Structure 1
Amino acid sequence: MTAISVGEAIPPFTATSTHGDISLDTLKGRKTVLYFYPKDNTPGCTTQAQGFRDLHSEFEAAGARIIGVSRDSLKSHQNFTAKHELPFALISDADESLCTLFKVIKMKNMYGKQVRGIERSTFLIDENGVLVKEWRGLRVPGHVDAVLQAVREH
């Protein structure tokens, strides 16, 4: 599978989430905010998830659903969801198929060591399954507000 770029349709996929299987067909008809994050229950990832949670009703009012993606297990996602009362689905991408499609796996420095991990990234997909905007290597503060603004503009 080749990586997706802005302006291109998302190829068919199916992924397991805390809300059941999610596929390209289930995304069509509504805007989707697909955000990739490194790991459940880490400080930045928790802050980001809480930001999307806190503005969830505003995303819904703007016609968009939110879906988080990491390589964590479904069990880890279920615990993370319960602990932080997340109203949106989290996809377990243990085989990295979505991570590969969206090119979010990068070499990163952790405590002076090179490790392979998810680069925090967010993608806005339109009602027809076309990628319309992306944010890569982002910082958490202010990001959720920027995504909400983009959803309202598209």
Structure 2
Amino acid sequence: MIKVGKKIPDVELLLTGNKTRRLSDYRGKWMVLYFYPRASTPGCTQEGLDFKDAIYKFRRQSTTILGASRDSLKAQERFWEKQGFPFDLVADTEENLCQAFGVIKMKNMYGKKVRGIERSTFIIDDQGILRQEWRGVKVKGHVEEVLETLKALKKAG
């Protein structure tokens, strides 16, 4: 599993708009990569909308945002279009990205153990080095914390 201070793996991504990219394609820009359990659910929608609302602040920091879940491309496209997200979503149906970042966990849902994504966010620098991670994220106030941390990391050089 990836560790803070280490280079991230070069995983291939299937993005909304039916585009494919690799994580290495984003080198030269900082990135916020956030993982959410399921498209179009209340918490995941709010988290995406919070990133959407702050998009210009992230762009002023020359930072790309990507959201990722295990949903199908079709589900991600619907979610992306309905919410008008100004950033791409990743359809990680094969879980390659999820595995690389270690976000798959056993969770309790209605008293049953289920395998799913632990809401997590990662800041990756312009050289592809993981600089910060949050796991078990609570949505309220999270985007502001990510933005402030990003600014501090960039200022520190």
Q: Cα offset for 1:108? A: 0.4
Instruction: Tell me how far apart the structure 1 counterparts of residues 115 and 23 of structure 2 sit (CA, whole Å).
Output: 27
| 5+ long unaligned stretches in structure 2 | none
Matching of residue 4 in structure 1 with residue 2 in structure 2: yes
Q: What is the TM-score normalised by the length of structure 1?
A: 0.96
Identity %: 48
Q: Secondary structure at the match of 1:134?
A: strand
Please give the per-residue CA displacement for 1:44-79, whole angstroms capped at 9, x wherever unaligned. Answer: 000000000010111000111100000001111111
Q: In the TM superposition, what are the counterparts of 1:5-24 in structure 2 within 5 Å?
A: 5-19=3-17, 20-24=19-23
Alpha-carbon contact 2:13-2:92 (below 8 Å) kept: yes
- Number of the residue aligned with 1:98: 97
Matching of residue 123 in structure 1 with residue 122 in structure 2: yes
- Number of the residue aligned with 1:83: 82
Please give the per-residue CA displacement for 1:87-121, whole angstroms capped at 9, x wherever unaligned. Answer: 10100100111111111000001011110000000
Alpha-carbon contact 2:4-2:130 (below 8 Å) kept: yes
Instruction: Tell me how far apart the structure 2 counterparts of residues 50 and 22 of structure 1 sit (CA, whole Å).
Output: 24
**Structure 1 outlier segments of 4+, above 4 Å:** none
The number of equivalent residue pairs is 152
Q: In the TM superposition, what are the counterparts of 1:50-89 in structure 2 within 5 Å?
A: 50-89=49-88
